[in-house]
Amino acid sequence: MQKLKIVGLAIAVIIGGVIWFMSQNNSSEAEAGDCMKNKGTMSAPDLEIVDCGTSEAKYEVVKRIDDTLDMSQCEGVPGAEIPYQEQTSGSRRSSGEQFVLCLKEV
C-alpha cells in the first residue's frame, strides 16, 4: 500500500511538471523581448513563445500592456508594427486576464 501511494505521488508530480512546462509557451506569459510564432491563422492567431534563435520565431514582443484590450495603445510604441490582444478565460473566482502585445516581425 505504501509503494502505491509513492507511485501515485510521483505520477502526480510528473503530470504537474508537464502541465507547468507546457504553460510556459502560452502567450499570456509573454513579456517584452520574448519571441513568438503563430500556430493559428492571421484571422484567428494562436501565439506561442519560442526561442528567438530558431527559425520558428516570427515576431518579437516590443511591449506588453496588461488589463486592456485596446490595441491602439501600441500606436507610437517604437518598433511596434502589429498589435495583438487576448483575453484568457477565467474561472468561477476570476474573470480571466486581458492584455495587448505590441509586436514586430523578426
Three-state SS letters, the chain? CHHHHHHHHHHHHHHHHHHHHHHCCEHHHCCCCCEEEECCCCCCCCEEEECCCCCCCCEEEEEEEECCCCHHHHCCCCCCCEEEEEECCCECCECCCEEEEEEEEC
Q: Whose grid coordinates read 516590443?
A: 62
Length of the chain: 106
7-52 per-position pLDDT tens digit: 555 565 555 443 434 444 488 899 999 999 999 998 889 999 999 9
> Does this model's pTM top 0.95?
no
The whole-number pLDDT of residue 93 equals: 62
The whole-number pLDDT of residue 20 equals: 39
